[in-house]
Amino acid sequence: MASQLCGIRATLRRKFPTIGWRFAPFCKLKRLRGCFGLALGVLGAFGGQIYASDVSALIDVLRPPSYPWDFNGIIATLDHASIRRGWEVYKTVCSECHSAKYLAFRELIGVTHTEQEAKALAEAVEIKDGPDENGEMFTRPGRLSDCIPPPFPNEEAARAANNGAFPPDLTYVINARHDGQNYLFSLLTGWSDPPAGVTLEDGQSFNAYFPGGAIGMGQIIDDGAIEFEDGTYASQSQIAKDVVTFLTWTANPEFDTRKLWLIKSTGILLILLISVSYLTRFKFSSLKSRKIYYLPRK
Ligand code: HEC
């Protein structure tokens, strides 16, 4: 419509040069249409946001609070003593039901264990290997290159042992859940008696942080559930915090390197910025402030 009006305006202007300008505001319609579209887009985005948050508020689940994780600072790294304690928690408690099959023993070297310790850990487990020259599968002691063997041979066996619920692999679970660290910490410290009106199936426990509330994992950690080899008192929250730190590392093995690179690249960029600004300000100043005249010969 706006273009039609503009066309009319052009014709009128040609015929009656004096009245053409009265139609000028109609040509702004095009720009108005753009503004209108933008406003609609912004409104839509806000509306979507509100709608989406409304929807998730309806889900039958408690949102985990935000805990002040000491590794969440811009250049803060993981506490390696805590990762080592977290490994102890995984090894003694979680590995009974959960696999961490994407983690190899060699990856523990220099992070939680020395090479000798990691070798000893690997040799303590039996790995199924083969086939040998007779076509038979055999077991052998683990090597550093082996991944941590899962507690169950397949998903069906895991379900059968856990009332039909499948304990997921824990290697990347922190990244696989929304707000992973806060969620897992809350989950591991969040069991309680079911509120009135909630009925649980056989083998289920109530945990308000688990979607739906009924979880197939019973309360597995308690104050003093394990003994840490470094003497730290194993309260429920300490165990949860350490295993979360450990699983943050397994899900993000490059965590510390990322922070190191941030420091390095900021340093390099700072040097570049200073040298480039020096170059533009002082070396180019004569070039940039010059004036070029054309003086025709008289
Ligand atoms: C006795 C077996 C058992 C032990 C021990 C156990 N879990 Fe579980 N876990 C389960 C089962 C079964 C599920 C599946 C629950 C479901 O889907 O209802 C589960 C689910 C989970 C989930 C996924 C929750 C989700 O959002 O889907 C996480 C994370 C988890 N466990 C972490 C741990 C950690 C960490 C430990 C060790 C401190 C641990 N579990 C020890 C049986 C166990």
CA angle 238/239/245 to nearest 5° reads 90
98 with 264: CB under 8 angstroms? Answer: no
pLDDT at 289: 85
Q: Tens place of pLDDT for every residue, the chain, 298 residues? A: 455 555 655 665 666 555 444 444 554 666 677 777 788 888 888 777 766 655 555 567 899 999 999 999 999 999 999 999 999 999 999 999 999 999 999 999 999 999 999 999 999 999 999 999 999 999 999 999 999 999 999 999 999 999 999 999 999 999 999 999 999 999 999 999 999 888 899 899 999 999 989 999 999 999 999 999 999 999 999 999 999 999 999 999 999 999 999 999 999 999 999 999 998 888 888 888 888 889 999 8
Q: For 97-149, how does the pLDDT look when each residue is reduced to its tens digit (9 = 90+)?
A: 999 999 999 999 999 999 999 999 999 999 999 999 999 999 999 999 999 99
In the prediction, which pLDDT does 20 show? 43
Instruction: Using the mean position of ligand 1's atoms as its centre, give its distance from the Cα of residue 241 in Å.
Output: 15
Would you say the C-alpha torsion 176, 151, 224, 62 has a positive or negative sign? positive
Task: Sketch out the chain's domains with CATH numbers.
Answer: 2-57 (no CATH), 64-103+166-274 (1.10.760.10)
pTM: 0.80
- Residue-level pLDDT at 36: 76
In what side-by-side order are the strands of the sheet with 191-192? Answer: 191-192, 205-207, 214-215
pLDDT of residue 161: 95
Separation of CA 217 and ligand 1 centre (Å): 5
Q: Closest Cα partner for 212 from 97, 60, 25, 23? A: 60
Q: Which residues contact 232 (CB under 8 A, 6 or more apart)?
A: 85, 238
Q: Rounded to whole angstroms, how far apart are CA atoms 238 and 244?
A: 10
What separation, in Å, do the N-terminal and C-terminal C-alpha atoms of the chain show? 57
CB of 20 within 6 A of ligand 1: the answer is no
Closest Cα to atom 20 of ligand 1:
167
Q: Which of 60, 112, 74 is nearest to 229 (CA)?
A: 112
Q: Which amino acid is residue 84, in one-letter code?
A: R
Write out pLDDT tens, residues 275-296. Answer: 999 988 888 888 888 888 899 9
Q: Which of 83, 85, 97 to mutate to test the pocket of ligand 1 (most atoms within 8 A of CB)?
A: 97
pLDDT on residue 4: 56
